[in-house]
Structure 1
Amino acid sequence: MNLVHRTNYWGRCIDPSSRDKEVPFPVIWTQCAYRHGGCCRGFGCRAVSVLNSDFVNDFDGRWRLYKISENAGYSDGHYFYKFVALPAGMRGNGKRSCSRRGWTYLGDFSARNAVQELRSLLKPYQRGDYSDYDINHIHIGLMFDDLAA
């Protein structure tokens, strides 16, 4: 699995976005994909990979993954899932606060092994062809200060 941020921005540092009504803090949106380009190319022509080292650079510790929402797509078998990952111990964003928002806690993962551990946590959210992220669109908002591009 790859984590990819798609953008039309060609600078060296990607800032988080606060334009999502379901997430009350700025995040950098990523797509899970088996190929480098991601699943939803409409978000931009540039694909920036997110690596374990990016998690470590932002917060070298335990992270938490929450499911925000899921929706069936217009085509048969297409599903869209939205998640958020944030450092464990964030004041005002603990398990209780996130539960009050209607988010489902899925588990913790290590910054040093983030991509691999996220893959395991997300496995139940793949339907149909389990290897196809074009059918199972999985987007994760990362609570990063920024992302080196």
Structure 2
Amino acid sequence: MFFFYSQDTGAAGSGKLDGSGDYVHLKDFPAGQFGEWTHVVPSDGQLFFYSQDTRAAGSGKLDSSGDYVHLKDFPAGQFGDWTHIVPARRKLFFYNKDTRTAASGTLDDSGEYVHLKDFPAGQFGDWTHIGVTQEGTP
């Protein structure tokens, strides 16, 4: 299932690929329904929304018909200042390219965030992109 979001307009949509690889559009969501997010990250069937501007976040998921199901809102300031958020199955890896700090966490079945680790400044290099492979991600 795909979730599309425009940071410029706030509009969103959902869709999927059928068995032959054709795209099937499922739903359109009006501008403003999802707030203003700088990051929308998939995480094992859920979506994690984050605003680098306000440091607010939220979680939700798409049901089988492409409708959005909201799970949780997280208040501004609960999360650090992250430039990158990368999924690794249900885990999330947070990274700030300016400070080179990082953290990891996970979403439980109800969409609640569970913090796992903080990584100090300088533990990671000065990266502009982060990719994930399936190998080595428990």
Instruction: Say which structure is richer in helix.
Output: 1
> Looking at CA atoms only, which structure, 1 or 2, has the larger radius of gyration?
2
TM bucket (normalised to shorter chain) is under 0.3
Higher RCO (CA < 8 A, seq sep 6+): 1
Q: TM-score, with normalisation over the residues of structure 1?
A: 0.23
Instruction: Say which structure is richer in strand.
Output: 2
Q: TM-score, with normalisation over the residues of structure 2?
A: 0.24
